[in-house]
Amino acid sequence: MKNILLLCLAPVLISCSGFSVKKVVAKNDALPALKSSGVIIRVWKNSILSVSDIESNMRYWIDETQKNNSLPSMPSGPFSYYTDSDRFYQISEGNFLEYKSTGAVRVFFSDHREELSALMKDNNLDSLIFYEVDGFFSPELQSTDVKSTIVIADRNLNVLYMDYSSKGAELDEWDKDAIKKIVLDQVSRRFVYSMQSLGYIKK
């Protein structure tokens, strides 16, 4: 449908009370020890929102917080774009497939172990945070429907944390540039909310 603009985004409402984040893996004892987690944003290869759009907007939000983890951004590269074959957020008839999704993450780490390990070593990282986003918005329908998952892995690429979220939101705006800014803020709020809940940042 030409009136629906497809994006790779993250599902967040304007208010934090609207978040519906479900945890798949949460090894809470290991997470506080991580102090330098490189952030890799993953978007659909044909998204009209670029990785740089999302990253620069997220930095605006994160830089206003106190950090217990430095959360350095990793340069856009081969890991920043996904296709159906390597996406983490696996669904069927709109339902999140937990086992297929965790399996997709493990296959991805196995296939790219050497490159990801080198990335962490070269940047003095103790872990990686993958923030994968997907969804769409429609000015005509005045709504968004966005999905995301966050995966945290340690130096050995063991999955320490994984969550997912899916949420629609209503719009009251017709200008496409204004809508883009709204959605970018939604993406950033979702990430910041999760980092706050993990104790990595605080206001």
Q: What is the pLDDT along the chain (203 residues), one digit of tens a residue?
A: 323 333 333 333 333 335 688 999 999 899 999 999 999 999 988 777 789 999 999 999 998 899 999 999 998 888 999 998 899 999 888 788 999 999 999 999 999 999 999 999 999 999 999 999 986 666 556 666 778 999 999 999 999 999 999 876 666 767 777 778 888 888 888 999 999 999 999 87
Predicted pLDDT at 7: 33
Identify how many contiguous H helices and E strands the chain contains and give both numbers.
4, 11
Q: Which residues constitute the domain of residue 187?
A: 5-202
Predicted pLDDT at 179: 77
Amino acid at site 162: M
Q: What is the number of domains present in the chain?
A: 1
Predicted pLDDT at 16: 39
Q: Residues 146, 167: contact at Cβ < 8 Å? A: yes
Closest CA to 129 of 60, 34, 22, 53: 34
Please report the beta strands in 56-193, taking only residues with DSSP state E, as ranges in sequence order: 66-67, 81-82, 91-92, 95-96, 127-138, 143-154, 159-170
Please report the beta strands in 36-142, taking only residues with DSSP state E, as ranges in sequence order: 37-44, 66-67, 81-82, 91-92, 95-96, 127-138
CA distance 16 to 199: 16
Task: Note the pTM of the prediction, 2 decimals.
Answer: 0.87
- The pairing of beta strand 66-67 with beta strand 81-82: unpaired
